[in-house]
Structure 1
Amino acid sequence: MEEKQLDLLMRKFLDGTANESEKQQLNDWYRVQNERDIIWETDQPNEEKQVAKQMRQKLEAHIYAGRSRSMRFNNGVIGRAAAIFIGVSVMAGAYFHFKGPKSNLLPDRAVIAATSALENRYVLLPDSSTVLLHPGAKIDYHFDGKTRQLTLIGEAYFDIRHKTDQPFIIHTGKVITTVLGTAFNIKAYPGQKVTVAVTRGKVSVIDETKKMLAILTPNQSVEYSSETKTANQRAVKSEEMITWVKADMQFDDIPFKELAEKLEHRYNVSIKFKSPASEKQLISGHFNGTEPLDRVLQIISETTATTYTIDGNTVTVDTKGN
């Protein structure tokens, strides 16, 4: 689908004039992107080859940002009454995000979709906060200097870097969660209740009218229903609510090459092996799921006969002594 046609369909959907056929076209378009796990196209002709290369590498993000509005699809539910788009900031021609600089930090504004249906996605934000995206989750963030704004569809675990003068504000439908620096889980699927659970620090949760719903500390959660406009706060075991975070980071005696495929998807990197021996090295590990890639590789290197180097988004693994 051409960009102009796609933009027209999106506009019609947002203002409620799209017919069922047009809604289905949008759904089909998003499904194809979701299956391909690609970055969206750019409108810069001299960058076509680089974009094609990125597409072939099947990066896991569908990222674009810009002008003044933002659209997010919820796979398979276009045409239903549930909210599929969240309006916050996007679509300026087509903004695209290539493999990042050596810091792996993302730009100050972007849209990220964890398109894999089976694996989590680790995201390092511009302020060094981290987000673990549950399969299918999507975030749209904008850091303007005064605040750190982010919109979430789906489920994600946040570990927010403390900044007293720059609060982190998360929008999930009609619920707004504000933090300075803490760790917590949010589940916010269209048409379902929004749940916030804290593992460290303190967060405040309000509704769209700015009514206070809860102030949460560790092992507390609040569940909000937009239909009844009621909030239920309760004590929980937060660690039990985030078992999904480490689900794909528990492994026993698997070849390093097999593990590398998981890490590539999770951290959006490319892992290369310099020797067959390092590919076949058996790896066992039980991580909590929130570790950065460098820490994971460091532990593996300390407990096996392998070494590694990181250059931008490329990891090279070799056998010790080579």
Structure 2
Amino acid sequence: MDYNQYTSVDFLTDESFLSYCAGNDEEHVRFWQNYTIEHPEKEQELSEAMVMYKQLSGNKRPVETELANFKQLIQNRLNVIEQPVPELSESYVSSTGQFKIYRVAALLMLMVLIGGFFVWRRSSPSNLLNAEQGTQLSKNIFRTEKAQRKKITFEDGTTVSLNADTKISLRKGYNKNTREVDLIGEAFFEVEHNPAVPFIVHTAKLDVKVLGTKFNVSAYPDERRTEASLIMGSIQASLNDKSRRHFILKPSEKITVEEDQLATAKKILAKDIPKVLVSNVHLTNRNVVVETAWVNNGLEINNETFIELQQKLEREYGVTLAFKDDEVKKYKFTATLKNEPINEVLKAMQTVNYFNYKIKGNTVQLSK
């Protein structure tokens, strides 16, 4: 079954996905957990389908009651003329009272749910990340500014999602004798398979070579860490130092190259830096890959201090954080956010470690 073209409605009418939502079949649960990891680009459709499933079945009320409630919601919101709601036969209800959502029943109720999602999207705050903006500096150079994201497709069919404040350049002869790009910032790649012409991402500290796969590379020049996270397929990561060490990654693994600030300051021998670590990607309790959550406008904060979050938040929202108290810099946070404006993000963080903030233009002042 090819789920790559599925919408949230399609997922909701798939028996395997419904079994996963209900958690009553281990094989289906394992399949969809793996699918979520391997296809981060489908997170939004899967999340919407899960939300709609919970709306329809989470409270275990009779289907007839749900239909009546949804029908009333349509009338209240759209002021439409009352239409009769078809009655459901007993075949839609199991012996335990938990109903199965077949295509006809699902479509009747999804009209309201999908309408709700469209209303929510239209009413989203204007200061969310803009996923459509970005600048094409030339035929071979693409760039996003702070608080912008962009998805592009190269001539070979490879698609690339650019995170905020990112620049990617195609090298001369792309898709002829070579497929090489230079990256400054962060991007998620879905590389079209072509073993005759390998795909190579060049960054300041790390080169990543692939044939056809899905992976994320984060290489901001103002950060100590450069990371390559593999979602599906295989990649070879090579250090851009004298050692030219190679690392082969398996799916769900990542490589982190980190400069030691103290070592760099003291100019210790190059062999002592950088530090290299191969580990697993981070999963939330919802099986979301932390390293690629941004692709679907998510923001995963995993036990990070305010000062560690500073550059991420400044890029994501196009603001400047000004700390009035050094103690606030040390506050730690863990949170899962999606499509949230900066003021809502700060309010959520306040519930973990309280602090005060004032937003003046593009500057956020933080204090105890």
TM-score scaled to structure 1, two decimals? Answer: 0.43
Rg comparison, structure with higher value: 2
